[in-house]
């Protein structure tokens, strides 16, 4: 057996993470089985009909740029990468009449701990992203795009490159797409291990071949983006949602979710559940229902806490989560955020100090070093949580943690500072007693951490 054959035995097939038939009214995940990622199968599922429709190549009259943007606005689609910004509105910021080069960028640098949806979308339904990007490019008058893919998922990058080749050969990308006057060149690019590059301006710097250090905003990418040109950046899942919206209409998409929270969302459920994986469900689905899809809490234990939107989102205790529905507005009302849709579930055996210790180390490790409050502050946060975990904490540490976190927030160029501070704030708000117990007894309140 050679090395390739050896490693092939350990490849994820997507059966566990995405092909479990436990989605609710899926759109992006609908009909996927792991083998049908290619162009022909995508077309058989209705793929590239939306692109034909807007270009008037389906026998109809086509859609104008304004009509495409209006449809996306009507759909209530909000950015799936974390910020939840209305996609149609973002598209309308692009100065379409700008005479020079403009760029479209897909942010597939999926590194927010807990998130693994974009990987499966690109691995198993890559043409949905390509078609979504082509539609966006048409709507904004852009003819060059890049998909920046997380460096750790190199096989997915290669899959996406293969899908690009198929799309070019079939005339869905390139010059004069489907015989129209619309041209769009799309390329794949990859990172190589830097969480910060998920921040959109750090991503642009990285795409320009530099260190991924975020830029001051304003100017925003819509006016000064890649190579200083107007640029629109959306998340992978956002683009993948677009073909369905164009095929079925904005109102139909909005109706799938709830007002101001249109459509379906893929939640990556990880941690202490029986069936970790990606679950595509309508926006507004109760958390309790999502937990049930994921098989419930592992080994029949009790739910203790949930980080509902990726590691940067404040943790919420079980009682609050069980009353929350999975949409931007409801989770915000509960005191956290939907973020990237990464739901990290923790059962009653989990120590919150140890959990925060690992997260704080992560932010300290991944701070790009540009802004002092983040570069120094994330290290302070980690060292304090680390000493509490290791039995060297001081009674004043909780207030100090809170103060340091507060002094990072809002004082940095990008959101990584806030992302490091929010988990600390959330833990202290809901589980301060565990930190106090650790300091006082120099040991863990919960005990075994399995």
Partner 1 sequence: MISESMKTRFDHEVAKFPSNQKQSAVMACLAIVQQELGWVSSESEKVVAEHLNMAPMAVHEVTTFYNMYNQKPVGKFKLNVCTNLPCQLRGGAKALAHLEEKLGIKAGETTADGLITLQPSECQGACADAPVLLVNDRTMCSFMSNDKLDQLIDGLKKAGSTQ
Interface residue list for partner 1 (CB under 8 A): 1-3, 6-7, 9-12, 16-17, 101, 110-116, 118-119, 146, 150-155, 187-195, 206-212, 227, 268-272, 276-278, 311, 342, 344-346, 350, 355, 358-359, 362, 365-366, 368
Output the smallest distance, CB 330 to partner 1, in A: 22
Output the smallest distance, CB 201 to partner 1, in A: 15
Beta strands 303-307; 316-317: pairing state: antiparallel
Comparing CB distances to partner 1, the nearer of 87 and 268 is: 268
Comparing CB distances to partner 1, the nearer of 71 and 206 is: 206
Identify whether 218 is preceded by a cis peptide bond (ω within 30 of 0): yes
Output the smallest distance, CB 311 to partner 1, in A: 6
| CA angle 340–346–348, rounded 5-degree value | 160
Output the smallest distance, CB 289 to partner 1, in A: 18
Output the smallest distance, CB 44 to partner 1, in A: 27
Comparing CB distances to partner 1, the nearer of 9 and 21 is: 9
Distance of CA 62 to the CA centre of its chain: 31
| CA angle 45–157–191, rounded 5-degree value | 140
Comparing CB distances to partner 1, the nearer of 111 and 262 is: 111
Neighbour-count burial for 16-37, b at 16+ CB within 10 Å, e otherwise = ebbbbebbeebbbbeebeeeeb
Output the smallest distance, CB 195 to partner 1, in A: 6
Provide the H-helix boundaries in 249-371.
Answer: 250-256, 287-293, 318-321, 328-333, 352-366
**Distance, CA of 93 to CA of 88 (rounded, Å):** 9
Neighbour-count burial for 65-95, b at 16+ CB within 10 Å, e otherwise = eeebbbbbbbbbbbbbbbbbebbbebbbebe
Comparing CB distances to partner 1, the nearer of 207 and 290 is: 207
Comparing CB distances to partner 1, the nearer of 85 and 192 is: 192
């Amino acid at each position: 057996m050679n090395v390739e054959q050896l490693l092939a035995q350990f490849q994820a097939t997507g059966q566990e993470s995405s092909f479990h038939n436990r989605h609710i009214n899926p759109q992006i995940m609908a009909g996927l089985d792991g083998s049908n990622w290619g162009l022909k199968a995508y077309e058989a599922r209705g793929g590239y009909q939306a692109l034909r429709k807007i270009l008037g190549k389906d026998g109809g009259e086509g859609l104008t740029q304004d009509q495409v943007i209006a449809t996306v606005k009507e759909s209530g689609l909000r950015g799936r990468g974390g910020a939840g910004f209305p996609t149609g509105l973002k598209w309308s910021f692009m100065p379409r009449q700008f005479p020079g080069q403009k760029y479209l960028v897909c942010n597939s640098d999926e590194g927010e701990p807990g998130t693994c949806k974009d990987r499966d979308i690109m691995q198993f339904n890559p043409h949905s992203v390509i078609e979504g990007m082509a539609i966006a490019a048409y709507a904004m008058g852009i003819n060059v795009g890049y998909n920046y893919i997380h460096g750790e998922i190199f096989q997915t990058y290669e899959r996406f490159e293969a899908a690009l080749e198929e799309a070019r050969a079939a005339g869905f990308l390139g010059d004069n797409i489907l015989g129209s006057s619309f041209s769009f060149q799309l390329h794949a690019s990859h990172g190589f291990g830097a969480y910060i590059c998920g921040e959109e301006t750090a991503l642009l710097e990285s795409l320009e071949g530099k260190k991924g250090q975020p830029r001051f905003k304003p100017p925003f990418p819509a006016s000064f983006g890649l190579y200083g040109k107007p640029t629109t950046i959306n998340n992978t899942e956002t683009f993948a949602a677009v073909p369905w919206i164009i095929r079925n209409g904005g109102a139909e998409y909005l109706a799938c979710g709830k007002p101001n929270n249109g459509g379906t969302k893929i939640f990556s459920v990880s941690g202490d559940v029986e069936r970790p994986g990606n679950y595509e469900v309508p926006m507004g689905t109760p958390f309790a229902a999502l937990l049930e899809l994921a098989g419930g809490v592992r080994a029949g234990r009790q739910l203790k806490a949930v980080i509902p939107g990726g590691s940067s989102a404040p943790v919420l205790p079980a009682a609050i989560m069980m009353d929350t529905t999975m949409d931007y507005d409801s989770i915000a009302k509960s005191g956290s955020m939907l973020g990237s849709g990464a739901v990290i579930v923790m059962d009653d055996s989990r120590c919150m100090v140890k959990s925060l210790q690992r997260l704080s180390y992560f932010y300290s490790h991944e701070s790009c070093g540009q802004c002092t409050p983040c570069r120094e502050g994330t290290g302070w946060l980690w060292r304090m949580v680390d000493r509490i975990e290791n039995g060297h904490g001081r009674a004043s540490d909780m207030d100090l943690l809170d103060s340091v976190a507060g002094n990072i927030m809002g004082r940095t160029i990008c959101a990584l500072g806030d992302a490091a501070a929010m988990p600390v704030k959330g833990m202290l708000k809901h589980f301060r007693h565990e930190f106090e117990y650790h300091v006082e007894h120099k040991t863990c309140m919960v005990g075994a951490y399995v």
